[in-house]
Amino acid sequence: MRQNLRFDTRFRLRLLPAVPASMAFPSLANAEAERPVRRLQGATPGATPAATPVTGDLPVELVAPLTGPGGVSVNDTWEDYGVYGTDLGHTFMYGDDLYMVFGDTFGIDNSDWRSNVAAVISTDQDPSDGLTFDRMITDRPGHAKALIPQSAVDGEEVTIIPTYGIAVGDRLHLHYMQVIFWGPPGRWDLGSSGFAWSDDAGETWTVDPDATWPGDSNFGQVAMERVDDHIYIYGIPGGRFGGVHLARVAADRLLDLESHEYWDGERWQADPELAATIVPAPVGELSVRWNEYYRTWVMMYLNEDLYAIVLRTADALTGPWGGERVVARGSDFPQLYAPYQLPKWNDGPDIYFTMSMFGPYQVYLMRTRLND
């Protein structure tokens, strides 16, 4: 049931059953209790954190499918852009535009494979009924473009998958992982990971040959958040069974890996080998955002052992991170993975995020709430 990110040749699009009533939103009071103040540091020094207990489920709702054929999705990505199936859907802001970046992408009957494509949302300002794409980046009319083709990275990769994006000034950046081998479910090997950039609003991309980590790096997959003049990078190895490490770099030096510093549990260090594990394994695809409404940092990821999307919170971006709270379970949303919080609409009680399900191989807009 928990398959890997490899595309299953038996794939056919199917409609999902209705969300179980037990998983729908309850009526939540808008508690106005005092909330913690945002802090950049203040972590409790110490060794690798131990696994923390899992608490009860948070409310969750499937808002709308975002990809797939018309009649299934709020966006007819098949008819308009040749995207019949895709996954991931992590997001970042560029000016007033929301960019949504996807992973391995297919046409009908497993045809027309592309490693990665992207949509742009400019006009839709209400996620409560889904998000309408204004456009996708294309290489010809009606065909979503592969942003980073296989030929752009040296090596014998199976695919190149962007794991997060961020804009710095007029330059867009994508962190990617170069997958060279798919192993058992939840495990894969990387040849490298690194950054590509675009100076023309995402139409063309250049892979920086110097801004790369080795395949066994703790930064094979990342989440990135900018605070003031720094970008904070939460990293995990390739696959879904590593822990989280944290780096930071001046925003204008993102591509200079020699300028990156790594959190050792007490202070920032130049040596990546000193980076502490700030969240214990197993952590799959992850996102981290500051939530203005709850006045807390929120981390979401797939816990493969639990077969569930989980959430942790922290007062400071360095941690300590609280215990896992289950957001969505595979028993309700089969073959779920890749929860990516949106970079906007976080000033109300709803926490919006995208989530993939492998069976239908599509991306869905979801929402949850903290119940404390």
What percentage of the chain exceeds 70 in pLDDT?
A: 85
Tell me, yes or no, whether 329 lies in a domain: yes
285-329 pLDDT, tens digit per residue, is 999 999 999 999 999 999 999 999 999 999 999 999 999 999 999
We report the CATH number of the domain holding residue 83 as 2.115.10.20
pLDDT of the residue at 69: 96
Q: Tens digits of per-residue pLDDT, 320-346?
A: 999 999 999 999 999 999 999 999 999
Cα Rg of the chain, angstroms = 19
Which distant-in-sequence residues (6+ apart) come within 8 Å of 63 by Cβ? Answer: 127, 128, 129, 130, 352, 364, 365, 366, 367
34-61 CB burial, b ≥16 within 10 A, e <16: eeeeeeeeebeeeeebeeeeeeebbbbe
Locate tokens 């090997």: which residue? 189
Task: Give the pTM.
Answer: 0.87
Q: Is the pLDDT of residue 82 over 50?
A: yes
48 Cα distance to chain centroid: 24
The pLDDT tens digits of the residues spanning 165-222 come to 999 999 999 999 999 999 999 999 999 999 999 999 999 999 999 999 999 999 999 9
Q: What is the pLDDT of residue 24?
A: 34
Q: Mean pLDDT throughout 251-273?
A: 97
Residue 9 confidence (pLDDT): 27
Please enumerate in sequence order all residues whose Cβ is within 8 A of that of 76, keeping only pairs 6 or more positions apart, or say none: 69, 70
Token pair 């892979």 in the structure block, residue: 207
Domain, as residue range, for 225: 55-368
CA distances from 85 to 127, 302, 323 (A): 21, 21, 34
pLDDT-based confidence at 92, cuts 50/70/90?
very high
**Coil, helix or strand for 150?**
helix
By the 10 Å C-beta count (0-12 exposed, 13-18 middle, 19+ buried), 111 is classed as exposed
Residue (of 301, 357, 305) closest to 334 by Cα position: 357
What is the C-alpha to C-alpha distance for residues 241 and 328, in angstroms, rounded to an integer? 19
With respect to residue 8, please indicate whether it lies within any of the assigned structural domains. Answer: no
Is pLDDT above 60 for 48? no
Confidence of residue 42 (pLDDT cuts 50, 70, 90): very low
Residue 92 within any structural domain of the chain: yes
Tokens for 78, please give them: 């098949």
CA-wise closest residue to 30 among 239, 243, 294, 206: 294
Task: Report how many domains make up the chain.
Answer: 1
pLDDT band of 372, cuts 50, 70, 90: low
Does any domain span residue 47? no
At residue 41, the pLDDT reads 29
23 vs 364, higher pLDDT? 364
In a domain, 79, yes or no: yes
In this predicted structure, the answer to whether residue 255 has a pLDDT above a threshold of 60 is: yes
| Cα–Cα nearest to 188, from 161, 154, 148 | 161
- The model's pLDDT over 100-157, given as tens digits with 9 standing for 90+, comes to 999 999 999 989 999 999 999 999 999 999 999 999 999 999 999 999 987 778 777 7
Residue 168, in any domain of the structure: yes
Q: How far is CA 302 from the centre of its chain?
A: 10
CB 286 within 8 A of CB 245: no
How does residue 244 score in pLDDT terms, banded at 50, 70 and 90? very high
